[in-house]
Amino acid sequence: MLNWYAFTLHIDDLARFAKAQELFTEILVNSGGMSGIALFYKNSYTTKENQFYASMPETMPEMAEIVNRIYPLTPCERPTGKDLTTLVSGSNDLDDYAGICKKFDF
């Protein structure tokens, strides 16, 4: 089972945007490519914010603790919508990726 979290960054905060992507890539690599680790985002030009959504296996609560130290996480429901962009995904299988795309209406 996956836990979902959200956090927000100002749309102009490109350094922290890149750091979030690097952090999740590092977590994914260090986990051996574990399925379920993912980072998505969507931007809102109206509010000038990037909304991030992170999925993490509930068997790895320490991962959420590490991320929460850098980006305050808020538990949330699994996001939906075509306006989400995948930044990092722990799926090495095209069928898994197709399943992720279907779940998110991509």
Over the stretch 46-80, which tens digit does the pLDDT of each residue have?
888 989 999 988 888 888 888 988 999 999 999 88
Please answer whether residues 4 and 73 qualify as being in contact, where contact means their C-beta atoms are separated by less than 8 angstroms: no
Q: Give the separation between CA 30 and CA 98, rounded to whole angstroms.
A: 24
Q: What is the pTM of this model?
A: 0.78
List the CATH number of the domain containing 58. Answer: 3.30.70
pLDDT value at position 91? 62
Q: Which residue has the higher pLDDT, 52 or 106?
A: 52
16 pLDDT tier (thresholds 50, 70, 90):
confident
Give the structural domain span for 30: 2-103
pLDDT at residue 100, rounded to an integer: 46
Q: How many domains does the chain have?
A: 1
Inter-axis angle of helices 61-70 and 14-30, to 10 degrees? 160
